[in-house]
A and B are shown apart, each in its own frame.
Chain A
């Protein structure tokens, strides 16, 4: 299994809603990532988890709250989002964090619309 699975594929939420994005991989990877991608822009790194611990937070607003319950799962909890947070949210995994020739495996993303 070389897939990273993200659910839901599409999500529409109001600014007062609380929702969660989910990501799962069964490749035994120990590093997991959240990226945000606006239309016609490159993916922007948000968070990095290594061995279920948060390693990198790219100064993301607190209305985005990541969680890594175990080595296979990664969640992104959303609360009080703004319309400008509408984007494609991508999850990725890699074998480890800290190997020079590492490569990322991405899911298909969750297309989020905030009304």
Chain B
């Protein structure tokens, strides 16, 4: 079961690019990396998912190096509305029967965007 480590908090200003790194040294061959965003008093929202190299969608990019022991969520030109907690989850849902990494939330990174 891959365990993830993220910075507890990050500060940024509007218009900047924000990169949040997640460490997952024990990632297994079949594991995917999934990022969620959560606003206060709301459920987490899926942002992006990847297995290797780079993935980009309309919201963010996800960079995964060749060894896959870490990943970086990149948010381009953040705004005040991007202030939220960002969670990195790593795991393989195929081996259910016990708790799985991609169902387990770590402490997340609280991103604060200032004007």
Q: Which A residues are closer than 8 A to B by beta carbons? A: 4, 33, 42-45, 48, 50, 55-56, 58, 88, 90-92, 97-109, 111
CB distance from B18 to the nearest CB of A (A): 20
For chain B, residues 57 to 115, give those with C-beta under 8 angstroms from any C-beta of chain A. 87, 92-94, 96-99, 102-108
Please name all residues of chain B whose beta carbon is closer than 8 Å to the beta carbon of A105 when the two chains form the complex: 46
Contact among A42, A45, A103, A106 for B107, CB-based, below 8 A: A42
Q: How far is the CA of A104 from the CA of B92 in the complex (A)?
A: 13
- Known pairs A33-B103, A101-B51. 11 more at Cβ < 8 A? A42-B87, A44-B105, A48-B96, A50-B96, A56-B96, A56-B98, A99-B93, A102-B102, A104-B103, A106-B44, A108-B43
Please name all residues of chain B whose beta carbon is closer than 8 Å to the beta carbon of A108 when the two chains form the complex: 41-43
A45-B104, A111-B41 known; A101 vs B46 contact (CB < 8 Å): no
The answer on a CB contact under 8 Å between B94 and A42 is no
A42-B107, A97-B93, A109-B41 known; A104 vs B46 contact (CB < 8 Å): yes
| Closest B residue to A94 using CB positions | B93
Please name all residues of chain B whose beta carbon is closer than 8 Å to the beta carbon of A56 when the two chains form the complex: 96, 98-99, 103
The answer on a CB contact under 8 Å between B92 and A109 is no
Please name all residues of chain A whose beta carbon is closer than 8 Å to the beta carbon of B44 when the two chains form the complex: 43, 90, 104, 106
Please name all residues of chain B whose beta carbon is closer than 8 Å to the beta carbon of A88 when the two chains form the complex: 41
Q: How far is the CA of A111 from the CA of B43 in the complex (A)?
A: 11
| Closest B residue to A90 using CB positions | B43
